Chains A and B, each alone.
Chain A
Amino acid sequence: MTDSHTIAVTVNGVRTEKSVEPRLLLSDFIRHELMLAGTHVGCEHGVCGACTILFDGFPTRSCLMFAVQADGHEIATVEGLSKGETLHPLQQAMHDSHGLQCGYCTPGILMTMSAFLDSNPSPDEHAVREALSGNLCRCTGYQHIVDAVLLAAERMRT
C-alpha cells in the first residue's frame, strides 16, 4: 500500500518537487530526502521542540505533520537563517551569550525565537521564557538562551 504523491514545496526559498509516501513525516522528509540535517528529531510526539520549523511563516512541529501536507506550502529551516556568512542576529547572540552546549535543541530554538522576535521586537524576560516553553534544553538551564534572545532583541532594534 505504498501509494505515493508528488509534492511541490518551497524550502528556504527554493522550490523542490519530490515523490513521497503519505506516512513520511515532514521531519524525516527534511532530513532524509532534502538532506537538511539541521532540523533535529528528539521525541517525535510534539514535546521537545527540536524539530521546529516555519510552516508558512509559523513555528510548527515538523514531527507532527506529514510531508504530503506540505504540498504548495513554504518551509523555512535553520539552514536558511543566516545570510551567507553573516549569522542571523539571534544566532550571533546565542554564540556571544553561550546559549548552547551540545546544540541539539538549538535549531528548534532558533526557529521558534527568530519568529517570536519578528512579532515581538521588545519582549521582557517573562515573555521570552513563555515563548521558550515549547523547547526543551537539557544542557543550559535556559538562562543563557534567555540572555541571548534579549541581546538579539536589543541589537535588532538598533
Chain B
Amino acid sequence: MKPAPFKYVIARTLDEALAAKAEYGDEARFLAGGQSLVPTMNFRMAMPAVLIDINPLTELSGIKANGVTRIGAMTRYRMLEADAGIGERLRIIHEALPHIAHPQIRNRGTLGGNLSHADPASEMPAIMLALNATLYLRSAKAARQIAARDFFVGALETVIAPDEMLTEIVVPHLPANSGACFMEVARRQGDFAIAGIAAIVTRGADGTCTRARLTYCGVAQTPFYADDAAQSLIGGPVTPAAIKQAAALAMEALDPPGNSHADPSYQRHVAGVLTRRALATAWART
C-alpha cells in the first residue's frame, strides 16, 4: 500500500525540529531512519499529518567517549558497528548489532529511532537497560534525563512527551573485571527475537560476583529486567549451580506474551536456556 498524504517539514537545526514538534505536537512524528515508521505508514497503521525529517541534524549523530560513551540519537547502526571504541568498551553492543534486521536496514536505522519506537522484541532497549544508560530528552522549553529503566512504559510506548525528542544516549562504562554477553534466538537471521538476553556480571577481588544485570527482549511488553535472578548471583562465585538457580528465578519471573512463532511456554524455555549460556559466557569473560 501507499502512505497517506502528509506535510513534510525538513529540520535544519535542532531548534527548528523542536519548534516544529512544539507546534504540531501529537499530529507530527520525527522521521529518523524511517525503518520502523515508514513500514507502518505504508500499511496505513500510522497516518501522521506531519513528518519532521531530522536526518539533516548531524549535531545528533556521532559517538564520543570520555569516561562515559555518548551516542547521538541520529547515530545509525552502521556507525555503531564501525566504531572501534564501542568494540573495546561496550562490546555487548557489537555482539547484538548483527541480530538487528539486515545490513540495508542497519545502514539507515538509528539508535534514537529504535529506542523511541520501543518495540518489545527489539535488542537495543534490553541492552541499554542492562548497561544502565541514561536517555536525554529535549523540548523547545526544557531538557530532562531519564534512566533507561524508567523510559519504556509499554509495547511501543515510552515517556517521551508530544513536544519532546530523544537527543542523546549516555552509556556508563563497565567496572573493571566485568563480562558481558548478548544472545538471542530468532527464526531467521535478522528477524525479531523469540527471546534474547543481555547478561553483565562483575568479578570482585575475592572471586565472587559483585554486580549482576540480566535483561531480556521479546518476552514482555517492555524490555524486562530480572532483578531477583541478578541479585541471587551476588556474593558468591558464578558456579554452574548459581547459574542454574538464577535461570530458574528468571523463568519464574517471566510472563511472556507468546507470538506467532512461539507460545509462552516455549519463549520461557528459550529464555531459561539463554540465561544459562549467556551467564556462563559473561562470567568467563570477566
Chain A: residues with CB nearer than 8 A to chain B?
1-3, 5, 21-23, 25, 28, 44-46, 49, 52, 55, 58-61, 63-66, 68-69, 112, 116, 130-131, 133-135
29 CB contacts below 8 A, A to B, read A1-B5, A2-B5, A3-B8, A21-B5, A22-B8, A23-B3, A23-B6, A25-B38, A44-B1, A46-B38, A46-B39, A46-B105, A49-B104, A55-B108, A58-B108, A61-B108, A63-B42, A64-B34, A65-B108, A66-B38, A68-B8, A69-B53, A69-B55, A112-B103, A130-B98, A130-B189, A134-B101, A134-B102, A135-B102
B42 touches A133 (CB 8 A): no
Given A49-B102, A134-B103, A134-B190, A64:B108 Cβ within 8 A:
yes
B104 touches A23 (CB 8 A): no
* Residue numbers in B under 8 Å from A131 (CB-CB): 103
Q: Which residue of the partner chain B has the closest CB to A5?
A: B8
Q: Which residue of the partner chain B has the closest CB to A3?
A: B7
Given A58-B78, A58-B107, A65:B38 Cβ within 8 A:
yes
In the assembled complex, B284 has its CB within 8 A of some CB on chain A: no
Q: Which residue of the partner chain B has the closest CB to A72?
A: B56
A59 touches B103 (CB 8 A): yes
B42 touches A44 (CB 8 A): yes
A8 to B156, CA, bound (A): 35
Q: Which residue of the partner chain A has the closest CB to B101?
A: A134
- What is the 8 Å Cβ interface bit string for chain B, positions 99-121, against chain A (1 contact, 0 not)? 00111110110000000000000
* Residue numbers in B under 8 Å from A65 (CB-CB): 34, 38, 108
A61 to B3, CA, bound (A): 16
* Residue numbers in B under 8 Å from A112 (CB-CB): 103-104
* Residue numbers in B under 8 Å from A63 (CB-CB): 38, 42
A72 to B171, CA, bound (A): 34
Give the A-B pair count, Cβ closer than 8 A: 90
Beyond contacts A25-B42, A61-B35, A69-B55: 10 other A-B pairs, Cβ-Cβ < 8 A, are A2-B5, A22-B6, A49-B102, A52-B104, A58-B108, A60-B107, A64-B35, A64-B108, A112-B104, A134-B105
Within 8 A of A (CB), among B56-91: 78
Q: Which residue of the partner chain B has the closest CB to A28?
A: B2
In the assembled complex, B155 has its CB within 8 A of some CB on chain A: no
A133 touches B102 (CB 8 A): yes
B104 touches A134 (CB 8 A): yes
A2 to B189, CA, bound (A): 40
Within 8 A of A (CB), among B6-45: 6-8, 31, 34-35, 38-39, 42-43
Which one of A49, A69, A133 contacts B189 once the chains associate, using CB atoms below 8 Å?
A: A133
Query: What is the predominant secondary structure among interface residues of chain B facing chain A?
Result: loop
Count residues of B near A (Cβ-Cβ below 8 Å).
30
A1 to B39, CA, bound (A): 22
B35 touches A46 (CB 8 A): yes
* Residue numbers in B under 8 Å from A55 (CB-CB): 107-108
B2 touches A23 (CB 8 A): yes
* Residue numbers in B under 8 Å from A58 (CB-CB): 78, 107-108
The 8 A-B residue pairs whose C-beta atoms are closest, nearest first, are A134-B102, A22-B8, A45-B39, A58-B107, A133-B189, A64-B38, A23-B3, A59-B104
* Residue numbers in A under 8 Å from B101 (CB-CB): 46, 134
In the assembled complex, B261 has its CB within 8 A of some CB on chain A: no
A58 to B78, CA, bound (A): 10
Given A64-B108, A133-B190, A23:B39 Cβ within 8 A:
no
A152 CB to nearest B CB, Å: 18
* Residue numbers in B under 8 Å from A64 (CB-CB): 34-35, 38-39, 105, 108
